Structure 1
Amino acid sequence: MDQVNRSPEILIFPAISVGERAATRSRQRVIMECLKKWGCNLDKIPTIMVLGSGGGTRASIACQATLTELAHQGLLDSIMYFSGVSGSTWCMSSLYAHGDWSQELEKAEAEMRSRITEGSWDLDVALEKAKWAAGLERYSLTDFWAYFVVYEQTKMLQDDPLTSIKEQSEKGLVPYPIFSAVDRHYLQQWKRKLAPDAWFEFTVHTAGFPAHGAYVTTNHFGCRFKARELESKKPERELSYLRGLCGSALGDFQTIMDIISDAIKNLLVSRRVQDKVFRVMSEGHHCEKILLDLLSLEIAYLGGKDCLLLLNGLRDSLNVSLTFKEAYKSAEVTIQEWDRMSLEDKKRLLSQLVEKIFELPLVETSYEASFFSFLRKTLRCLLNWDWGSTNNFLYKLDDINAPEVTERKVLHLVDAGLALNSAYPLALHPARHVDLILSFDFSSGDPFETIKVASDYCQANGIPFPPVNKAELDRDAKEPSDCYVFQGGEREQAPIVMHFPLFNRNNCGGGAEADIEQWHKRYPTFRISGYSKDDFDKLVHVAKMNVRHQAATIVEKIKELGRCASHV
C-alpha cells in the first residue's frame, strides 16, 4: 500500500517510505555486482542487515573494526541495511558523515584511533552548546548527556543534521542507515519491553513508530504539530543530539546518575565557570556551595536515600546570604513537611526549592545569566529524570488508533538498549524482508541476552524467528564461541541470524573464562575516557577476528539465500 500523503510532513503508511524504497533499489545494484563476483544466481538478491549492539565506546570502536573487516573480506557490498543501538550509533553517525565511507574504512578507523586515544574535548565548547540547547523549547537530560558525556567519550561533535547524510544512501553507495530509540512512556507505564509499539526509528527520510506506521519527515522531527497541522517549525537537531538520544544507557540507573552528578560537579569547579561566574559575583563562593548542596540533595532523593540531613545543610547554606532568603523559607517549609509527604509531594516541594534558588535576583544580576538558566533547567530535568523530550508530531492525530501516543503533547525517547540492546524489532519489519541478520554483540554481561530477548519478542508478537535453545546458550555464556547460527525451524519465513559475541574463546587469549572476564574488565561500558593506543588496537584486533574467522560461513549463508551456483 502506498503512503497516505494528505500532509507533506506527517506520513501514515504500513510499509517503508518512498525514499527508503528508492535508496534500497539503488543499493541492490551494488549488491548484485558483489554477488556476481561469487557466482551467485541472481534470481534472488538476499536482503542482509548488520546490527551493532550498544556498549559505549567499546561498542563504537568494535563496530568500526567490524565494518572495516567486512569491507576487507569483500562482504560490505552485500549489506543492504545497517542499524545500531547506543554506542554503535556513535560509530554510525561518524561514518555516514564521511560520504561514501565504504571506500574509506581504513582511513575512518585511523581517524577514530587518533581521536579517541589522542584527541580531547573542550568543556567550554560543551557548555556553549548546552546553554544554546537550554534555550530551545524542549531541553532535557539528553542534551546535557550529548554535550558533556558523549562528546567527552567520542571526542567529537557533529553539527550537521541527519538529513545531511542522505546523498550516499540514496545513491546506494553505502548500506541504508537506521538509528534506533524507544518511547520511554511504554517502558514505564506498561512495562512493555516486548511491545513493538515502543520502538522508534530514525532514517535519513523519516522518523517515527514502525508499529503504528506513523512517521514525520526527518527534517520536521521536533516541530510542533496538532492534528496534522504544523503549529511551529523548529530547526532539525544535529547529529550530536541524535547520538545523545540514541546512546544514553551506559549502565544501570545509579551509574548514569553518578556520571551526570560528576559532570555537573566538574563543570561547577571548572576554571571557565569559576572565572566567569562565581569570582565575579559578590557571593560567588556561597552560590557555588549552595548549588553543590542542591545537586547532592537531588541525587539523594533520586537514589531513595534519606534527604533530611542534606536538606538541613542546604538550608544553613541558604541562610548565609540575603540573596537566597526566599529559598531559605522554602527550605524551611520543606524540612517541616518532609516526613509527612508522599514521594510526589516531596518532588513537588524540591522542584519549588530549585525554582526559588534560581529566582530573578540570582539570574538577572549574574555575569552569565545564560549559565544559570541552563543549570536551572538541567537540575529541574534531573529531579524529574526527564530524557529525550520532543514535540509529539502525532498529537491529536486521528489517522491511527493509538490514544496512548496521540494524546501526549510530548514524547520521551531514550536509548533502545533499555528495551533490547540490538535493533531486532527494526530489522524484522515485514516490509524490509530481511533474509540474513549479522548481529554483532558488543554488550557486557550475558553475551546472548540480545538473541534471547529477540526470540522472546518475536514469540510474543507472532514474528517469524529461528529457534533459539536458551539452555545451550546459558551453558556457553561464560566461554562463548565467536559465532552462532540460528536458522530453520517451523517458521520458514524466519531470517537466518548469525550472532557474534565480541569477547569469546576464539579471540581472547587461551579462551578460558578467566581470560574472557579480563577483557570485559579492561573495556567496561561506562569507561568515559582513557583509551590508550594499545587498548584501541587490541579491541580492534579481536573484533576483526570475529569477522575474519567466520567470513566463509557468512558467504555460505548468503549463497544459500541467493541460490548460488553449486560449482562455485
Structure 2
Amino acid sequence: MTTIYSDPQWSTNMDAAVSQLSGPGVELKEASAWLGERAKEEHFSLTDIWGVLTSAWIMKRMDLRHLSDEASRNATNPYPIYSATDMYCFSNGTIEGKWFEVSPHEAGFTELGLFIETSLLGSKFQRGELLEQKPEMDMVKLQGILGCALAHEDAIKDYLPPWLNVPGQVDGSAEEYMRVYNALVTLVAMTRSTIKDPTALSDLDKLQKILEETFNDSKSAWLESKSSEERKNLAPQLSLKLLNEVETWSQSLEEGAFKTHVSLLTSQVIPKIMKWEWGTTANFLYQYQDSTVPPCLGTKERIHLVDAGLLINVGYPPFLGDKRDIDLIIAPDFVDQTLIFARDYAAEVNKSFPEIDDKVLEEKEWPKDCYVFEGKETELSIVYMPLFNRNNCKDAEEVKARMEEFSTFQRPFSQNKIEFVLETAKTNMENNKDILLREINKAVLRRQNKR
C-alpha cells in the first residue's frame, strides 16, 4: 500500500498502480547506495536492510517520499493509516504500549493517545521536549518497519526443520540458529532480484549451495547434543559458522562492482543479524512524565518498531473508540481469526466492539463471503469479507490450500498470482454490492442521528 500511494490518484487508476509490481526492478547499485547512507545513521538496523531489499524485490522501486507529504494531498485516495508494534512492549509490556500508528499527520501510541508530528518520528526527545530533529524516514524504511514479520522470534517457529523441531528440544537455541539461516537465505533471494549479470547470479547460486550444505552439516552436531545447555552453547557456534561462510564467499569474489556492493552489504548485515536488531527508532516518550506511560516505554531511549501483524494482522485498533468515531468498517480479510483478535483487543482496552456471532467461528474453516456485525449504540458496525470463501472454494480443504498458496513468507507474487488475488477481491465486492450499499446507507443515517 505504501508504494501504491506514490500515485496521488491511484484509487482512480488501479491498473497503473498494480503494474508497478511487475516493473523492471531496482539495480543492486541503487539499493547499495541507499543502504550505505542509512548505515551511517545512529539507528541503522535490519529494518533498513529489509526495507531496501523488499523495495527492490517486491515493490520494484525505491520510494523516497516521506509519509508527511501525504498531509497536503487531496482526498481522492483514502487516508492512509499504517500500524506497527514495539517489539519489547509486545513481549513484555502492557497492552497500552503495544499498538503504534503512523499517518501523514501524526505518529504515536494508539491507546496512550500520545503522538508527535510524523515528520519528527526518529528525532530525539526527552521528557517531552525535542532535543535533536532528525530527517524524516522515507517510505523505503517505513516499508521495512511495516512489513518485517520476520523480526519476531515466534515467526521462526513455523519454519524449523524436523531435526530442530523435536518435542521437548525446541528452545531459544534452535530458534536463534534458524533466525540466522533464514535471514541469510532470504538475503540471497532478495539480492538475486537486483542483478542480471550471469556471473553474479552464478556466484549467488554458489552461496546458496554453501548455505544449504553448511545447514545440513549442522544436523549431525545438533542431534548429537545431549542437553539444552549443550544446544545453547552449540547454536552460536553454528550461527557463526554460517556467517563465516558468507564472509569467505564474499572475499573470494572477483574484483568488481558486484564484490564491492556485496562486501558492503555483508559488512552491514552480519553484525545486525547476530544482534537481531530491528526497527530501531528514537523513543519520543523517553522519560516522559505521565503515569499512563508503561515502563517498557518511559525508561528506554529507543523503541523497536516492527510489523503490527504480530499482534493483529488487520489494523482495527486505530479505528476503535472515540478518537475517529468510526461508524462502519469494511474489512476484506485474508487471515482467519483477525476479527476475534480485534474483539479481544477491544475488550482489553475497554473499547466498544460489535457482538460477533458464534456462527462465524463455526464456519471459519469454510466461511461465507460476507458477514455483517451490526453495532448497537456506541459500537461501530463491521462488514467482514473473507477473501477465500464458499463462493470461490468448493470446501474447507480448498480454502486451506488457497491460504497456503498465498501465504506471507514466499517469493514475490507472479503476475498471475497478483491478478488472481485482485480478481477474487473484486468479485467478492461485486457479489456483495447490495449489502455494502445498505450498510453504508445505515452508517450515514446513524451519523445524521448523532448530530
Q: 2:143 aligns with which of 243, 262, 281?
A: 243
State percent identity of aligned pairs.
Answer: 25
TM superposition shift of 1:522: 3.7
Identify if the C-alpha distance between structure 1 residues 344 and 234 changes in structure 2 by more than 3 Å, giving closer, same or farther: farther
Q: Against the structure 1 CA distance between its residues 306 and 438, is the aligned structure 2 distance closer, same or farther, given a 3 Å change threshold?
A: same
Question: What do the CA deviations read for 1:138-168 (whole angstroms, capped 9, x no partner)?
Answer: 1111111112234312223201111122222
1:532 to 2:415 alignment: yes
Superposed, 1:48-447 pairs within 5 Å as 91=1, 93-102=2-11, 104=12, 107=13, 109-117=14-22, 119-168=24-73, 171-190=74-93, 195-249=95-149, 252-253=155-156, 255=159, 257=179, 260-265=183-188, 267=191, 343=232, 372=263, 374-399=265-290, 401-443=293-335, 447=336
Query: In terms of Rg, which structure is larger?
Result: 1
Partner of 1:467: 355
Structure 1 residue 128: Cα displacement: 2.5
Question: Which residue pairs with 1:453 in the alignment?
Answer: 341
Describe the superposition over 1:475-534 as per-residue Cα deviations: whole angstroms up to 9, x where unpaired.
Answer: 21222111111124xx6211111111011112x15x33344344334423223235134x
Q: How far apart in 2 are the matches of 1:293 and 1:135? A: 30
Q: Provide the secondary structure at the position in 2 that maps to 1:252.
A: helix
| Change in 2 beyond 3 A, CA 1:150/1:480 | farther
Q: Aligned-pair distance for 1:413? A: 0.6
Q: Is the 8 A contact 1:441 1:502 kept in 2?
A: yes
Partner of 1:79: none
Given the superposition, is the C-alpha separation of residues 98 and 453 from structure 1 closer, same or farther in structure 2, using an over 3 Å criterion? same
Quickly say closer, same or farther: Cα 1:518–1:397, change in 2 above 3 A.
Answer: closer
Quote the residue 2:162 is aligned against.
Answer: none
Is 2:372 aligned against 1:485? yes
CA distance in 2, matches of 1:112, 1:307: 49
How far apart are 1:467 and its partner, in Å? 1.1
Describe the SS at the equivalent of 1:201: strand
1:107-140: CA deviations, max 9, x gaps? Answer: 3x22244333454343332233222222211111
Gaps of 5+ in 2: 160-177
Q: For residue 252 of structure 1, what is the amino acid of its counterpart? A: A
Q: 1:475 to 1:373 in 2, by over 3 A?
A: same
Cα deviation, residue 452, structure 1: 0.8
Query: Displacement, 1:342?
Result: 9.3
C-alpha separation in 2, matches of 1:423 and 1:101: 21
Taking structure 2 as the reference length, the TM-score comes to 0.77
Cα distance between partner residues in 2 of 1:260 and 1:97: 29
Give, in whole Å, the separation in 2 of the partners of 1:402 and 1:162: 27
Contact 2:312–2:342 (Cα < 8 Å) also in 1: yes
Superposed CA deviations along residues 262-302 of structure 1, whole A, max 9, x for unmatched, are 243454999799989xxxxxxxx9xx9999989998x89xx
- Which range moves more in the overlay, 493-502 or 458-467? 458-467
Counterpart of 1:519 (choices 382, 402, 405) is 402
1:551 matches 2:433: yes
1:227 positional shift: 2.6
Residues 14-58 of structure 1, C-alpha deviation per residue, up to 9 Å, x if partnerless?
Answer: xxxxxxxxxxxxxxxxxxxxxxxxxxxxxxxxxxxxxxxxxxxxx
8 Å contact kept, 1:487–1:495:
yes
Conserved? CA contact 1:354–1:376, under 8 Å: no
Write the letter of the residue equivalent to 1:261: L
Q: Which amino acid aligns with 1:437?
A: I
- Which is worse superposed, 511-520 or 492-501? 511-520
Distance 1:135 1:504, change over 3 A: same
In 1, are the aligned partners of 2:321 and 2:351 still within 8 Å (CA)?
no
Q: Say if 1:219 and 1:236, in contact at 8 Å, map to a contact too.
A: yes
| Cα root mean square deviation, aligned | 4.1
Give the secondary structure class of the aligned counterpart of 1:431.
coil
SS at structure 2 position matched to 1:208: strand
The answer to whether 1:505 aligns with 2:390 is yes
- The SS at the match of 2:80 is strand
**Counterpart contact for 1:220–1:233, Cα < 8 Å:** yes
* CA distance in structure 2 between the partners assigned to 1:273 and 1:231 by the alignment: 47
- Change in CA separation of 1:499 and 1:228 when aligned onto 2, cut-off 3 Å: same
Taking structure 1 as reference, are residues 512 and 164 closer, same or farther at Cα in structure 2, changes over 3 Å only? same
- Which amino acid counterpart does residue 385 of structure 2 have in structure 1? F
Gaps of 5+ in 1: 1-90, 277-284, 310-337
User: Deviation digits for residues 214-262 of structure 1, max 9, x if unmatched?
Assistant: 2221111111222334333321111111111111127932659465322
Structure 2 residue identity aligned to 1:188: S
The change in CA–CA distance for 1:473 and 1:270 in structure 2 (over 3 A counts) is: closer
Partner Cα distance (1:152, 1:528) in 2: 9
Residues 1:427 and 1:341: Cα distance change in structure 2 (over 3 Å) = same
Deviation at 1:424, TM superposition (A): 1.3
Matched residue type, 1:450? T
For residues 79 and 349 of structure 2, the distance between their equivalents in structure 1, rounded to whole angstroms, comes to: 26
Pair 274,214 (structure 1): closer, same or farther in 2 beyond 3 Å: farther
Corresponding residue number in structure 2 for 1:35: none
Q: 2:380 aligns with which of 485, 489, 495?
A: 495
Task: Using structure 1 for the length normalisation, give the TM-score.
Answer: 0.62
Contact 1:207 1:218 (8 Å CA) reproduced: yes
